[in-house]
Amino acid sequence: MTASLAEAFTTVAATHPDRTAVRNGPTNLTYRQLDLESDALAAAIQERASGPRPLTGVLLERGHTMVVAALAALKAGGSYLPLDPASPPERLKFILQDAEPALVITSDTLSSNVPAGIPVLLTETCAPGSPEPVATAPDDRAYIIYTSGTTGRPKGVEISHRNALVLFTATDGLFGFRPDDIWSLFHSYAFDFSVWEMWGPLLTGGTTVVVPTEVARDPAAFRRLLRDEQVTVLSQTPTAFHQLAAEDEQWADRLPLRTVVFGGEALRPSDLKGWAGKYSGSGPSLINMYGITETTVHASYRVLSPADLGDDRSLIGGPLPGSDLLLVDDALAPVPDGTTGEVIVVGPQVGLGYLGRPELTAQRFVELCGPDGRLVRGYRSGDLACRTQDGGLEYLGRADNQVKIRGFRIELGEIESVLGEHPSVRQAVVTVRDAGTPDATLVGYVVPAPGEIPDGRRLRAHLASRLPEYMLPSATVVLEALPLTVNGKLDRAALPAPSEAEPAPAEPGSEIPAGQRMTAVFAEVLGRPGIGPDDDFFEQGGHSLLALRLVNRVRARFASRITLQDVYEAGTATALADLLRDRAAQ
């Protein structure tokens, strides 16, 4: 095994200099060009950063430059910190102040998001150059990715070069990735699935196709990209894939996929029956992989068989080669087969720990006895599973207050902490309704502070200033007191369903018949009869999956080919009805 990701890339680039490494719309970078561009940026990092192993923040819009920047940070002898420009400014500020990068690579348009005092390197000002050689050890840090934290503080997960290289070495024999494979880079750069999507092709001579944000939101546009770019390796959360599969059903042609990898949240194989029926025979392999940021993206592997597609259980298979998945009780002792236990991931993919959080690292990264009786280092996932008759694992959900919605891992405690900081709130609780289904949504419950009347829209604005969109509750319910069990604990089962809001008054003259019908469609999709014509779809609990349902329902009711982007831009029933009227008049 090579010592670092950068060294491994350099070897591949020397072998395939003229193959396309990255495609981003009309921009193509060959391996030779990517090598040279990352050299120049690495030299600039060394010139401006202090310290021998600088941490480089990367705050860029989705595109080929973010791939260049990650590689450059490693070539400079340091590590990279991916930052999503779509994150709220307060969250970006916290991460940057917590991680203390030596500098941030960004663009002129995004540089204002970097707090004062942190040096900035603008991609527009980088000149050709070559970095000074720096020896990198396998256990040096390669990247940091921040995940949700229970106390309202996101936590930075540190992953080494060895961790990442072992992932791709372990999966090489399972997948047999080839230089002619074309991968989609679909997910946010700050979500660990992107590590797999970016480094997978770069370490095997393949091509990574950057999926623009607006295309990732629109299943129809994304399917066109998969077809036009001839993508062969697709990675998706089950929620995102269900949207793609619904769009794909409308087309007779088959996409050129060779492998579909599922991860990020629980998958019910039976949900794939429709897709598998269309792609039977020579269709792509369907692979379910369980994993966690702290254990380097993926930790398990299961090829879904035709028999699996009739199963409602979330089957995650067995460990990747060289690693293991142990099931233990609260005392970290093994549980008998067929018994539910907490998943402990052990092996060389277990990360370094949490940045600047030694106590939390000690709690989650533990030593325990392995199957042979020797001490091994493992990560306490907080996930529950049981062993199936074939030796694999069935995923059973979380053992704590952490959930996954649309592929994003969320600590409910983080949302509760931020919600509770609002001056009108004395107590706050956040729960999930319809957990484990594509309709899963977050709901907040608040007890008012003395003399205060919490306002739902102000609470949402407060949350939106600190949390990403996927962590915003779809509704907030005001209670006189939180329900308790006989033992004095919070009785989550007794929390009421969100009350329906009163219809919002429309602006004079805005309620034309089409607007009324559109409002009714919004109410049906959101399951909120009281929604008004000028209520924002996303503020009322809408998300990408519901937006797709809205698109399909509007197409059927109004005989109009609206797009997902139309919904995002219009926001309200009135605006969307006006958009359809204006198009009809053209």
Q: Flag whether pLDDT at 526 surpasses 70.
A: yes
Least reliable range by pLDDT among 48-52, 164-168, 399-403, 429-433: 399-403
Within a domain: 316: no
Whether residues 30 and 131 share a domain: the answer is yes
Whether residues 482 and 518 share a domain: the answer is no
Query: CB atoms < 10 A from the CB of 312, how many?
Result: 9
Greatest pairwise CA separation for the chain in angstroms: 76
Whether residues 488 and 566 share a domain: the answer is no
Q: Shortest CA distance to 446 belongs to which of 410, 409, 418, 485?
A: 418
Give the CATH number, domain containing residue 41. 3.40.50.980
Whether residues 409 and 490 share a domain: the answer is yes
Whether residues 483 and 565 share a domain: the answer is no
How sure is the predictor about 64, in pLDDT bands with cuts at 50, 70 and 90? Answer: very high
Percentage of the residues of the chain whose pLDDT score is greater than 90:
58
Query: What is the predicted pLDDT for the residue at 565?
Result: 85
CA distance 571 to 342: 42
Query: What is the predicted pLDDT for the residue at 499?
Result: 55
User: Looking at the 3D structure of the chain, how many domains does it have?
Assistant: 3
Q: How far, CA to CA in Å, does 148 sit from each of 155, 180, 232, 403?
A: 6, 36, 32, 10
- Please return the burial class of 496, using the count of CB atoms within 10 Å of its CB with bins 0-12, 13-18 and 19+: exposed
CA distance 294 to 149: 13
| Number of residues assigned to the chain | 586
How sure is the predictor about 315, in pLDDT bands with cuts at 50, 70 and 90? Answer: very high
Domain extent, residue 52, equals 26-136
Tens digit of each residue's pLDDT (9 = 90 or more) over 441-465: 899 999 888 888 888 889 999 999 9
- Please return the burial class of 541, using the count of CB atoms within 10 Å of its CB with bins 0-12, 13-18 and 19+: buried
Within a domain: 239: no
Select from 103, 121, 136 the last residue of a domain: 136
Q: Flag whether pLDDT at 549 surpasses 50.
A: yes
Whether residues 409 and 465 share a domain: the answer is yes
For 445-460, b/e burial (b = at least 16 CB within 10 A) is bbbeeeeeebebeebb
Whether residues 536 and 474 share a domain: the answer is no
Within a domain: 308: no
Q: Give the distance, in angstroms, between the CA of residue 403 and the centroid of all CA atoms in the same chain.
A: 13
- Please return the burial class of 396, using the count of CB atoms within 10 Å of its CB with bins 0-12, 13-18 and 19+: middle
CA atoms within 13 A on the CB side of 428: 27
Query: What is the predicted pLDDT for the residue at 396?
Result: 87
How sure is the predictor about 559, in pLDDT bands with cuts at 50, 70 and 90? Answer: low
Q: Coil, strand or helix: which one is 308?
A: helix
User: 268 near 314, Cβ under 8 Å?
Assistant: yes
Whether residues 469 and 562 share a domain: the answer is no
Query: What is the predicted pLDDT for the residue at 504?
Result: 36
Contacts 24+ apart (CB under 8 A), 552-556: 552/246, 553/521, 553/524, 553/525, 554/518, 554/521, 554/580
Whether residues 132 and 30 share a domain: the answer is yes
Whether residues 132 and 32 share a domain: the answer is yes
Helices marked H in 18-79: 31-48, 64-75
Query: What is the predicted pLDDT for the residue at 264?
Result: 85
Whether residues 36 and 113 share a domain: the answer is yes
How sure is the predictor about 99, in pLDDT bands with cuts at 50, 70 and 90? Answer: very high
CA dihedral 550, 556, 557, 561 (to 10 degrees): 80
CA distance 489 to 492: 9
Within a domain: 131: yes
Query: What is the predicted pLDDT for the residue at 502?
Result: 35
For 101-124, b/e burial (b = at least 16 CB within 10 A) is bbbbbbbeebeebbeeeeebbebe
Select from 136, 162, 188 the last residue of a domain: 136
Average pLDDT over residues 573-582: 88
Whether residues 53 and 124 share a domain: the answer is yes
Within a domain: 457: yes
Select from 89, 118, 136 the last residue of a domain: 136
Give the CATH number, domain containing residue 532. 1.10.1200.10
CA distance 210 to 185: 5
Within a domain: 184: no
CA distance 62 to 83: 10
CA distance 47 to 56: 13
Least reliable range by pLDDT among 34-43, 269-278, 308-317, 509-518: 509-518
Tens digit of each residue's pLDDT (9 = 90 or more) over 149-186: 766 689 999 999 999 999 999 999 999 999 999 999 99
CA dihedral 490, 478, 91, 474 (to 10 degrees): 100
Least reliable range by pLDDT among 124-138, 500-514, 534-548, 569-583: 500-514
Query: What is the predicted pLDDT for the residue at 505?
Result: 35
Query: What is the predicted pLDDT for the residue at 221?
Result: 93
Contacts of residue 540, Cβ cutoff 8 Å, sequence gap at least 6: 474, 475, 501, 522, 526, 528, 531
Q: Flag whether pLDDT at 235 surpasses 60.
A: yes
Within a domain: 228: no
Token pair of 131 as six digits: 């970095």
Query: What is the predicted pLDDT for the residue at 552?
Result: 76
**Is 229 or 245 the better-scoring residue by pLDDT?**
229
- Please return the burial class of 32, using the count of CB atoms within 10 Å of its CB with bins 0-12, 13-18 and 19+: middle
CA distance 27 to 266: 35
Average pLDDT over residues 37-49: 94
Average pLDDT over residues 113-137: 90
Within a domain: 177: no
How sure is the predictor about 344, in pLDDT bands with cuts at 50, 70 and 90? Answer: very high
**Is 448 or 30 the better-scoring residue by pLDDT?**
30
Average pLDDT over residues 309-322: 92
CA distance 14 to 200: 17
Mean pLDDT (the chain, rounded): 89
Query: What is the predicted pLDDT for the residue at 556?
Result: 65
Give the CATH number, domain containing residue 462. 3.30.300.30
Q: Is the dihedral of CA 320, 294, 60, 548 positive or negative?
A: positive
Percentage of the residues of the chain whose pLDDT score is greater than 70:
94
